[in-house]
Amino acid sequence: MEEVQAKPVNPYVIAFSMMLPTFFAMVATSGTNVCLPYIAGFYGATQYETNTVITSYMISNGIMLPMTGWLLRTFGKVKLINGCIITFMLGSFLCIISPNLLTLILSRLIQGVGGGALMPLCQSILLEAFPQKRGTAMGLFGFAVILAPLIGPLLGGFLTENYSWQWVFIVNLPFCLLSIILVKMFIKENFKPAKRKIDFDIIGFSAIVLWLGSMQVVLDKGEQFNWFDETWVCWLTGFSVFSMIFFIVWELEYKKPFVNIRVLKNVNFICGTTIAAVVNIMLYSSILLVPQFVQSLLGYNAYLSGLSVFPRVISCAVMLPIVGKLADIIDNRILIAIGLTILGGTTFMFSNMTLETSLECVQMINLLFGFGIAFTFIPVSAISFATLSKRKTPDGAGLQSLFKCAITAVATSVSTTFIMRVSQVHQTYLTHNLGVTDLEFYTRLAMFKAKFMTYFAPYLAGQKANILIYKQLLKQARLSAFYDAFLVLSLVAFIALPLILFLRNKKK
């Protein structure tokens, strides 16, 4: 690799040039969530079939994440950025004109290939553009990777309700063209690709494709087929675990791996990545559970459920630049401790919500939750790479993104399954109170029956009274399941606190 001289460019211009395509690549991960019913109706498909529209993007996205370092060493950053943007734009265009659901899924795979490498590439370039201000770099990076998934459902819902679901993909095209122009103008190539041919690790690449592909199929279809009650789910899960282990061992032993797994030997990197994964679990699990809670238990519509979580966007937008500056002058470990404490505390507050909780109360908790995300994300991202060499930063960025992507997919699937299964457990316990020997149950049943007898015969009134009480039981069981889910998430945040003791700041 030979260095070539380039005129200095304002680092904030470089940041904007990279953040713009990365932002829309991250919006694509959540923006289609609200479109699924419309896509299903458009193609005459079922809910389970249209779920693949989301998972196909995540699969190809995850596969590309650890390849960023190898691609960067092979093609250089300018060619790689342009290639990613063009591929993402091509996938978006194909999504617009897809004649059937299968073509749409394949188009999403192409879109994910283009968007996958943008996130670690953006992180690597920002760290390079702000060598002495890693906190500032990660604050800017946070605008792309934290705000985008939060804004995605609102943007997707607005475009779908007012225009059509195709507009979720149409909006990408002009911004991709603008990004290509900005990259050509402001991002300069610092290194020329090596003259010698760089071997491609086809076995390692095949292993990661098989690992992530089989894992995503299990997570996507597991609940539909009652998880491990099906033999093929058990076999596919075992195959996914075997492929992951084989990938790790192969990359450690192979002389020319495309992913430098040995960066995991860095204590700062592995501890910081673990904390970053916990933050991702808190973020994506809560953004899934809170709307479910307010819609299924409080009776909110889709607009109000989106409005209930929107305040975290405001608090993140306000605090990200502030925390980015603080991270350059205050010990990052202190900020991480504050952030994890806020995340754990606010998630515990979610577990205290009742069926009478107001919209303002839910919004206030989400506002505080956003502060925790901002205080945690930036210093964790900065300190994770503090002791890594500049040469290993792209590999580290790719691996960290891959780890967070995999753990987020697992956490999202587990959260949904947790609510369904635990609510059944609580339902079993609560049914013990529905007996004629229970005075409170008998009194309430008689009261409801007396009210229904005003309009119905005694026999029908008794049936309707029993149905009403059973519906209340189901609602209470589901409410208890949400309590347990939020308590588990709160506990995860506090368990991650001791990892801060293993983090070290870079010596000046």
**pLDDT tens-digit map of 61-83:** 777 777 776 777 777 778 888 88
Q: State yes or no: pLDDT of 3 exceeds 50.
A: no
How does residue 506 score in pLDDT terms, banded at 50, 70 and 90?
A: low
Percent of the chain predicted with pLDDT > 90: 1
Pick the CATH number of 261-415+488-508 from 3.30.930.10, 3.10.105.10, 3.90.1150.10, 1.20.1250.20: 1.20.1250.20
Exposed/middle/buried for residue 130 (C-beta within 10 Å: 0-12, 13-18, 19+): buried
Q: State yes or no: pLDDT of 452 exceeds 60.
A: yes
Q: What is the mean pLDDT of residues 23-50?
A: 76
- C-alpha dihedral sign at 170, 20, 274, 480: negative
Looking at residue 2, its pLDDT comes to 43
pLDDT tens by residue, 201-260: 788 788 888 887 888 778 777 777 777 778 888 898 899 889 888 888 887 777 777 677
Token pair for 443: 């009194």
In three-state secondary structure terms, 99 is coil
Q: State yes or no: pLDDT of 340 exceeds 60.
A: yes
pLDDT tens by residue, 77-134: 788 888 888 998 898 899 888 888 888 888 888 888 888 778 777 777 777 777 767 6
Q: State yes or no: pLDDT of 508 exceeds 50.
A: no
Q: Regarding predicted confidence, which is higher, 33 or 198?
A: 33
Looking at residue 442, its pLDDT comes to 65
Looking at residue 41, its pLDDT comes to 82
**DSSP label of 163:** T
Q: State yes or no: pLDDT of 507 exceeds 70.
A: no
Q: What is the mean pLDDT of residues 328-338?
A: 84
Looking at residue 401, its pLDDT comes to 73
Q: State yes or no: pLDDT of 339 exceeds 80.
A: yes
Q: CA–CA separation, 119 vs 143, rounded Å? A: 12
Q: State yes or no: pLDDT of 412 exceeds 70.
A: yes
Q: State yes or no: pLDDT of 5 exceeds 60.
A: no
pTM higher than 0.95, yes or no?
Answer: no
Looking at residue 188, its pLDDT comes to 73
Pick the CATH number of 1-198 from 1.20.1250.20, 3.30.930.10, 3.40.50.980, 1.10.220.150: 1.20.1250.20
Q: What is the mean pLDDT of residues 146-162?
A: 76
Looking at residue 1, its pLDDT comes to 40
**Equal CATH topology for 1-198 and 261-415+488-508:** yes
Q: State yes or no: pLDDT of 190 exceeds 70.
A: no
Note the residue count of the chain.
508
Token pair for 261: 């797994």
Q: What is the dihedral of CA 123, 124, 129, 132, to 10 degrees?
A: 90
Looking at residue 430, its pLDDT comes to 72
How does residue 191 score in pLDDT terms, banded at 50, 70 and 90?
A: low
Domain boundaries, the chain: 1-198, 201-257, 261-415+488-508, 424-485
pLDDT tens by residue, 383-403: 877 777 767 776 677 677 777
Q: Among 10, 223, 18, 51, which Cα is nearest to 122's? A: 18
pLDDT tens by residue, 295-314: 777 777 666 776 777 788 88
Looking at residue 16, its pLDDT comes to 81
Q: State yes or no: pLDDT of 365 exceeds 50.
A: yes
Backbone angles phi, psi at 143, to 5 degrees: -60, -35
Q: Give the best-scoring range by mean pLDDT among 31-35, 190-194, 479-483.
A: 479-483
Q: Which residues contact 238 (CB under 8 A, 6 or more apart)?
A: none
Q: What is the mean pLDDT of residues 448-470?
A: 69
